[in-house]
Structure 1
Amino acid sequence: MFGGFAKSIFGSSNDRYVKSLNPIIAKIASFEPMLQSLSDADLSAQTVKFRERLANGTALDDLLPEAFATVREAARRVLGQRHYDVQMVGGIVLHRGEIAEMRTGEGKTLVATLATYLNALPGKGVHVVTVNDYLASRDAAWMAQVYGFLGLTTGTIVPNLTDQQRRDAYHSDITYGTNNEFGFDYLRDNMKYERSSMVQRAFNFAIVDEVDSILIDEARTPLIISGPTDDKSELYKLVHAVVSQFNPEDYEKDEKQKSIILTEDGTERAERMLEAAGLLQGENLYDFENTQVVHHLNQALRANMMFKRDVDYLVKDGKVVIIDEFTGRMMDGRRWSDGLHQAVEAKEGVNIEPENQTMASITFQNYFRMYPKLGGMTGTAATEAPEFFDIYKMNVVSIPTNVPVQRIDEEDEFYKDTQDKFRAIAKKIGEHASKGQPVLVGTVSIEKSELLSEFLTQEGVDHKVLNARHHEMEAHIVAQAGRRSAVTIATNMAGRGTDIQLGGNLEFRMGDEHPDLVAGTPDYEVRAEAIRTEIAAEKAEVLASGGLFVLGTERHESRRIDNQLRGRSGRQGDPGLSRFYLSLDDDLLRIFGPDTLFARMMRSNMEDGEAIGSKWLTKAIETAQKKVEARNYDIRKQVVEYDDVMNDQRKVIYEQRADIMDAESVDDMVADMRAETVNTIVGEACPPNSYPEQWDIEGMRTRLAEVLNLDVQIEAWLEEEAIDPEIVDERVQAAADAAVAEKSAQLEPETWLQVEKSILLQHLDHHWKEHLATLDALRQVVHLRAYAQKTPINEYKQEAFSLFQRMLDVIREDVTRTIAHANFQFQPAPELPPLPDFLTTHFDPLTGEDNSRDIDAGTLGLVTTTLPSLQIPRPEPTDLGEDPADWEGRVNRNAPCPCGSGRKYKHCHGNVAAA
């Protein structure tokens, strides 16, 4: 009570923090008259002056007021947009490495220019991270006008770029790109064999747009680069045939954890069927020999019983296509890991493609924590503030809106079941649409979108459906969602980066109604002016009807996603309305809600079609959401704890690779490895404080021949009186050094250096890949140690450390063996091969969802502003011929297809599977 009273008088800590920035805002404003008086050339020259002052020791914070004022004036001249004071507050928050929570429509893209410009002045590079490729290229093209005016360079990282194009983009002052592209480039860089072929430079500062989506939602899922393994398609089919015969009593499923286990009866049934299929070795399913079969059985169970068609995936053109849980889009070319995708393919009876093995991986937490300074912005972050601070040490600052919000958020309405709820929703939508009010309906799955569409059709309400099935129409549907009486059903509208303009979108109407006219011509301008007038009149009608009505058909697992959906309405002071419709059948209440006597009484006493509003039920929903948020935080925290172990090892390996690539000579490194190997071999055969007659002479001779390619006369040494293990070690070492020196003398010093570097890097990469696979397997089973009253994470740390030490020992021995046995043939030096055609995935280890986004993942259809979409260069058909059959072998599989589709060649005319 006292806290609330104090807050009413003194304001919250957030209010006080924002208020403390007022003196800086005033100082920024004081520079405005002087800067407005400058010519364009003088204003552009400010950048040079700032850099000179930085070189003379001025701190960035001291430059902030003048630099921000300079960006404000440049944006006013170039874009016709002047930063509001609240946007200046957001810029200061970003510069300080904090999260600016700004409501949808407050101009976050423009806010980012302030901190980006200031932190780009030292010339170390600034990364601006967005949620998809379209937004990266859109924002870069849009804001590059300001940066270019002020003399800074801007680059964009999108799929299908060459290494040189990526290198140029990263060496720009400011680089825009997606979280996945930045992360995958980091992993790919640390798989290369020459420093000159790496594309990224040292990290400096990053601003993450939609920071909650990237650092919270997607942070459950590590980025993974993988390569193919052996084909096991027959095994998947056989296991699916077994699983499809199970009855519900044979297994228990936990929808909270998205996991499934066999009952005792189910285990016996599985053993009988697997034995009949010839897949079981011995009699017990859980014998060590059946580990692989158990793994495939578990994945087949999840695929058949937990993953639903048209909710988690689609079947399109004979392929299983994942649906992104955050955006509802199809993820072409992306696959679940660990055999789950193959299990779903077996379930659907489509062609089963081989599994993949992890080559490199990193979590977003550990990737973004490598930046010395990190800022973020989003419309919704306050509910996750503790996690942002715990994991990233970032505070969340809520920035006040420029104009007071006029949207009305009505209380939730509850219905007995889904049918009643959807009937009520359809009637409500019809009522609002009939008076001219546009309605945006948010659903949680394709299934629910199509069910609601049927109800609306029965009510005679004209509407559009936006989901994974129709993503190619997304731009046109979204652009007109704010028109009079427009009804738009959107799957997971939140996080789409959309801007719904009340009254309609001029550019899209021109494109639809006058596609033959060219922008900038007199005819175009005449038609555009007429449509502009229509839009203004229609906007006035929409505002009079109450603005955009956002209707949620279900609560999401996170309060943040609900807030994002609501934030589509009531932007920049526009009126608006939002309401959620719920039923006791909703997944959130069914799985996580309280199963109390009151809930059961309501189910039995509510009449069909009856609606109630209850503070108790609203509280129950909020409690359920908090449960899910806490559970998801625990999942993410656990992912971080386990990846922290691997991250320490990853740093050692990647630093070792960098040292090898940068070294002028690696002779000392190789010699140390050889000495360690000799010491190990001699130590095993000749233990300390032992007599020569106790030594394993034959074993040592065999090992020296096998590893070091040496045939030493150890028997002759034994006749000496003073012989001991140290003397043996020194003599073997000398013999091994002499043999290698003789080999190196056959080659030029530069060639020998390249040979040693190549051998070191190849063995390092090979064993690191094997180590990752081992750690992955360990992580999946270490939780069983809890039954022995042991802490799984501590067990994992100990085991991982032992495995890492063993890996280093094996690398030492393998490098020594390879150099000792190498024979050199003088041939022209081949060019270093490009990196293989790896599969890049970003999957959730618990639910299996893949959240990777690239240009093959449905983002080509996303066009929501007036700026032109990214044009990807393609080879001229005259160079390759018009017949696609002639392109094979002449077009890189990762290059854009010459047909102009915008897809990669391997997913278009180079698709071998389709051919």
Structure 2
Amino acid sequence: MAAFLTRVKGLFQHLMERPSTVDLKKYTEVLTSIEWREERVAKLTDAELTEAAGELREKALGGLDAHGMVELCALGREAARRGLDQRPYDMQLVGAMELLHGRVVEMGTGEGKTLAGALAAAGYALQGRAVHVMSVNDYLARRDAEWMAPVYELLGVSVGWVDQESTPGERRIAYGKDVTYGAVSEIGFDVLRDRLCTDVEDLVHREPDVALIDEADSVLVDEARVPLVMAGSTDDSQGDPEVAAIVRTLRPGRDYERDEDNRNAWLTGRGAKIVEKALGGLDLYSGDHSDRLAAVNAALHAHALLQRDVDYIVRDGKVHLINTSRGRIALLQRWPDGLQAAVEAKERLDPTESGEVLDSISVQGLVGRYQRVCGMTGTATAVSEQLREFYDLKVSVIPPNKPCVRVDEPDRIYDTVEAKETALVAEIVEQHETGRPILVGTLDVAESERISEKLTAAGVTTVVLNAKNDAEEAAIVADAGAHAAVTVSTQMAGRGTDIKLGGADGDENDHDKVADLGGLFVIASGHYSSSRLDNQLRGRSGRQGDPGRSVVFASLGDDLIAQYAPDATAGADPAEDGRLEDQTSKRFIEHAQRVAEGVHLDIHRNTWRYTRLIEHQRGLVLAYRDDVLRTDLAAEQLKEQCPDRWEKLAKDVPEDVLTVAARQILLFHLDQRWSRHLAFLSDVRETIHLRALARETPIDEFHRAAIGEFKGILKEIRELAVETFEEAEITADGVDLTAAGLRRPTSTWTYLVHDNPFDSDAEQALQRVRAAIRNVKAGKG
């Protein structure tokens, strides 16, 4: 009975926590009070407005009460009216108040999320809290900080921003502001850089307090599978051009096979013999050539599974990964060194620098450092369970200021990709003749260029926006609503940029001209791996009550179907143009998308299961490191452990110099030992799937190994520090770590790395078993 009541209670709680539209009744009185207060605030001079905000800051330290919330919204509304010539709608104020209650708010396209976020950030700042507004890229972070600056200035709130070009001094100043804007990756990289500082003066961050996350679904879900990494230079060897050349000669189906999902590849017995002969007759599977086997596996994955202009592009002699959720270059992103080097060797490029991982952090670990987290996006409902499961965040849906009148047509489904694209081009040509602006959302770079070429051949001039010209994306997308414009874009390129009917510089007549034609027509060339991404694309049309239309052209030959519903067949014969009208085809497409969403959720879960323990261990190490960095703890410990050595040195070396030397020695060993620990865990992770063959649970075995390796790590660090302190030469000028053989990396760099690039543990294990069976049958024993 108790168990039953527990389940019922859990179900009830789950239902209560589901996203729901904000009940405006509870805000009716507040909004009325704001409007009443607004009339009085409007009579204040700019200086008096700022002074009133200062008075609110004094009262609001520790939190905003109901009266303080009214005062904040009234002052914020007037500041926006004066600074931006925009009077925030009631719904924007409601959004800001929900953000101040620690929610993720869902607000539709064109509903003014940026301004609502700025009012909330100012509200937190006036409570004496430091706010980081995290965005998906540098451009949006800088744009929003500069755009909202007049509002912050009138409210007496300081604002700054960081991007890749910011110097350490500029970063320190920016993080010292009340509100700091930055890309989530850049803020995370600054955390990693701070972890390598050996002097408090070099730190740029303050203690994390409030994180307000723009495009929260993208940052907290899509980016959560991609850890941020800090690396240091080493002399490790790079990719193997010889292996790459051998793999290029292999033929699919004969020398290697791929699984149905095209997510893994393995050599057949014949392929293994060819590779072994080409490498001089060695036995790849003997265990004596594990490095060669790893190089072959990486080269095979690069050759068979990673496609140029789909998974990556080559520009300026370098490989640039493509962010699949946004269709643009994933700046600073790379695969683990072995696979990265294999792709570079495949493309006959000079290898990039290789190195050891000094530290890393997941987006989930980064966000988890903050005392308060909130966010905003246009599509939060679809990921509400993940936001609750991984971040303990609840979603509030803000009603639109004006009802959305966009028409979302049913899918147009075809039997083949060729038939689909022919129909898609014909539809664009027909609509273009009316002058109606069209935004075409494609699935990858190659498809965007192919469709553009077909449209050009049909006499339609297009603007193509993909990962190859992402620097111009904001300007291109801003004009996508101009009369007769046809924009072909990869998924969500230009996200965060509003599309105005009539174009960015159009007037009311231009707007009305396009509105009379039906508004922006959004056409998708297929379904994405998530319904949320579909909705994001549709949401580019129909802003603020504008007319609009959207439709998805799909086919049973699309990659989504081939990967997640390979047995899909039409329920009826196609029409002459290849179109399918039956419900069976529609159900297969819906099924494939649901399966894809489940796979991505499993990857997210799997990533967090493996990194959660590491984040805990990192927290313990960093707490100790912070004590060493900010106090005289290192000196106290070494003085206690090495009293004779300390006393002898103290005769010729000033106390403060000895203290600094002790700190540098201990920090060196702490950083080096932590880096070694991460390398050990990486090795364990790469081979943990083999535990499944022994019927052991991989995650349990990983935890067992990680805990065992971590036990005693702080004691070992102190012992290494004692050994160095006893032997190193320390003079009045300090300690020369290099002379003592303690060499820090000569250069460091940051990048994002695809976690789990090949497959899940169980699937990898299964593929290995299959490969082993094939090798046995082929006589390899």
Task: Normalising by structure 2, report the TM-score.
Answer: 0.90
Letter in 2 for 1:115: A
Report deviation, 1:439: 0.7
Give the structure 2 partner of residue 786 of structure 1.
Answer: 692
3-state SS, counterpart of residue 201 of structure 2: helix
Work out the CA distance in 2 between the residues paired with 1:593 and 1:484.
Answer: 39
Assess if the C-alpha contact under 8 Å between 1:494 and 1:564 holds in 2: no
| From 240, 252, 268, the counterpart of 1:236 | 240
Measure, in 1, the Cα distance between the counterparts of 2:28 and 2:589.
39
Letter in 2 for 1:147: Y
Give the Cα separation in 2 of the matches to 1:476 and 1:193: 43
Q: Does 1:609 align with 2:581?
A: no
CA displacement, residues 240-291 of structure 1 (integer Å, 9 cap, x when unaligned):
1332232323333236472223334444444343343xxx4xx4x2344322
Alpha-carbon distance, 1:826 to partner: 4.3
CA separation of 1:353/1:594 partners in 2, compared to 1, >3 Å: closer, same or farther?
closer
| Distance in 1 (alpha carbons) for counterparts of 2:352 and 2:90 | 55
- Correspondence for 2:40 among 4, 14, 34: 34
1:211 Cα deviation (Å)? Answer: 0.5
Corresponding residue SS for 1:315: strand
Distance 1:848 1:468, change over 3 A: farther
Q: Tell me which residue corresponds to 2:81.
A: 76
Partner of 1:156: 161
- SS of the residue corresponding to residue 401 of structure 2 reads coil
Query: Does the 8 A contact of 1:257 with 1:846 survive in 2?
Result: no
CA distance change for structure 1 residues 273 and 356 in 2, over 3 Å: closer, same or farther? same
Higher mean C-alpha displacement, 388-397 vs 120-129: 120-129
> Post-superposition shift, 1:608?
4.8
Q: CA deviation at 1:139?
A: 0.7
> Which moves more between the two structures, 840-849 or 567-576?
840-849
Runs of 4+ in 1 over 6 A off after TM superposition: 828-835
Q: In structure 1, what is the equivalent of residue 455 of structure 2? A: 456
Q: Match of 1:245, as an amino acid?
A: T
Q: Which residue of 2 aligns with 1:92?
A: 97
* Structure 1 residues 314-348: Cα deviation after superposition (integer angstroms, max 9, x where no partner): 23343333333233334576543232121112112
User: What SS is found at the alignment partner of 2:313?
Assistant: strand
Superposition pairs of residues 673-688 of structure 1, within 5 angstroms:
674=641
**Partner residue in 2 for 1:403:** 402
Gap change, CA 1:301 and 1:601, over 3 Å in 2: same
After TM superposition, the structure 1 stretch with the greater mean CA deviation from structure 2, 783-792 or 240-249, is: 240-249
Judged with a 3 Å threshold, the aligned counterparts in structure 2 of structure 1 residues 315 and 536 are, in CA distance, closer, same or farther, namely same
Unaligned runs of 5+ in 2: 1-15, 760-781
* Residue pair 2:414, 2:556 contacting (<8 A) in 1 also: yes
% same residue: 38
| CA-CA distance at 1:616 after TM superposition | 3.8
How far apart, CA to CA, are the structure 1 residues paired with 2:716 and 2:654? 29
CA distance in 2, matches of 1:257, 1:422: 23
Q: Look up the match of 1:481.
A: 480
* Count of residues in correspondence between the two structures: 738
Following TM superposition, by how much is the alpha carbon of 1:142 offset from its aligned partner in structure 2, in angstroms? 1.2
Q: Which residue matches 2:562?
A: 590
Q: For 1:485 and 1:183, locate their aligned partners in 2 and report how far apart those are by CA, in whole Å.
A: 42
How far is 1:60 from its partner? Answer: 5.0
d(CA) in 2 for partners of 1:469, 1:162: 27
Aligned residue in 2 for 1:304: 303
Match of 1:581 among 532, 553, 562: 553
Q: How do 1:270-349 and structure 2 match up within 5 A?
A: 270-276=275-281, 280=282, 283=283, 285-330=284-329, 334-349=333-348
Contact kept? 1:210, 1:495, Cα under 8 Å: no
User: What is the distance in 1 between the residues matched to 2:343 and 2:728?
Assistant: 46
Superposed CA deviations along residues 773-826 of structure 1, whole A, max 9, x for unmatched, are 111111111122122222111111111111112543432332121111123344
What is the one-letter code of the residue matched to 2:130? G
Q: What's the secondary structure of 1:847's corresponding residue?
A: coil
| Aligned mates of 2:251, 2:723 — CA distance in 1 | 55
Greater alpha carbon shift after TM alignment, 321-330 vs 61-70: 321-330
Give how far 1:310 is off.
1.8
Q: CA deviation at 1:306?
A: 0.6
Matched residue, 1:774: 680
Relative to structure 1, is the Cα distance of residues 399 and 491 closer, same or farther in structure 2, using a 3 angstrom cutoff?
A: same
C-alpha contact 1:204 1:371 (8 A) present in aligned 2: yes
1:540-689 map, 5 Å = 540-593=512-565, 595-596=567-568, 599=569, 602=572, 605-670=573-638, 674=641
Partner of 1:50: 56
Aligned to 2:145: 140
Give 1:16 shift: 6.1
Q: Do the aligned residues in 1 keep the contact of 2:413 with 2:586 (CA within 8 Å)?
A: no
> Is the 2:149–2:159 contact (alpha carbons within 8 Å) kept by the matching residues of 1?
yes
- Give the greater-gyration-radius structure (CA): 1
Report if aligned partners of 2:571, 2:585 keep a CA contact under 8 Å in 1. no
Deviation at 1:302, TM superposition (A): 0.9
- Counterparts of 1:72 and 1:809, CA distance in 2: 56
**Runs of 5+ consecutive residues of structure 1 not aligned to the other structure:** 1-9, 507-531, 675-735, 850-915
- Whether the aligned pair in 2 keeps the contact of 1:192 and 1:835 (CA below 8 Å) is no
Q: Which amino acid aligns with 1:798?
A: R
**Structure 1 counterpart of 2:175:** 170
TM-score by length of 1: 0.77
Distance 1:65-1:287 versus aligned 2 partners, 3 A rule: farther
Tell me what 1:803 maps to: 709
Q: CA deviation at 1:24?
A: 3.0
**What residue identity is the alignment partner of 2:381?**
A
CA distance in structure 1 between the partners assigned to 2:343 and 2:114 by the alignment: 40
Secondary structure class of the residue paired with 2:526: coil
Q: 1:431 to 1:51 in 2, by over 3 A?
A: same
Residue 227 to residue 494, structure 1, CA distance change in 2 (3 Å): same
Task: Return closer, same or farther for 1:479/1:738 CA change in 2, 3 Å cut-off.
Answer: closer
**Residue 42 to residue 141, structure 1, CA distance change in 2 (3 Å):** same
Report the secondary structure of 1:461's partner residue. coil
Q: Distance in 2 between matches of 1:607 and 1:80?
A: 54
**Equivalent of 2:720 in 801, 814, 839:** 814
1:538-558 deviation digits (Å, cap 9, x = unpaired): 322211111110000111001
Give the direction of change, closer, same or farther, for the CA distance of 1:834–1:44 in structure 2 (3 Å limit): farther
Q: Cα distance 1:594–1:31, how it changes in 2: closer, same or farther (>3 A)?
A: farther
Instruction: Determine the structure 2 residue equivalent to 1:840.
Output: 750
Aligned partners of 1:74 and 1:149 also within 8 Å: yes
Correspondence for 2:20: 14
Give, as a single letter, the amino acid of the residue that structure 2 aligns with 1:666: A
- Quick check: 1:824 aligned with 2:730? yes
Deviation per residue, 1:570-607 (Å, 9 max, x gap):
111111110000111101111112625xx1565xx325
Tell me the distance in 2 between the aligned counterparts of 1:241 and 1:778. 30
- Provide the aligned C-alpha RMSD in A: 2.5
Q: Secondary structure at the match of 1:302?
A: helix
Give the aligned residue type for 1:14: S
Q: Distance in 2 between matches of 1:797 and 1:650?
A: 14
The answer to whether 1:496 aligns with 2:488 is no
Q: In 1, distance between residues paired with 2:442 and 2:613?
A: 39
- The answer to whether the Cα contact below 8 Å between 1:570 and 1:577 also exists between their aligned partners in 2 is yes
- Distance of aligned partners of 1:539 and 1:645 in 2 relative to their CA distance in 1, 3 Å threshold: same
What is the distance in 1 between the residues matched to 2:400 and 2:64? 30
Correspondence for 1:445: 444
**Residue 471 of structure 1 aligns to which amino acid in structure 2?**
D
Q: Deviations over 1:296-317 (max 9, x none)?
A: 1111011100111122222334
| Residue 828 of structure 1: how far off its partner (Å) | 7.8
Tell whether the 8 Å contact from 2:257 to 2:265 is kept in structure 1 after alignment: yes
Which secondary structure does the structure 2 equivalent of 1:72 belong to? helix
Amino acid of the residue matched to residue 250 of structure 2? F
- Post-superposition shift, 1:831? 13
Equivalent position of 1:698 in the other structure: none
Amino acid at match of 1:606: P
Q: CA deviation at 1:217?
A: 0.5
Equivalent pair of 1:412/1:613 in contact (CA under 8 Å): no
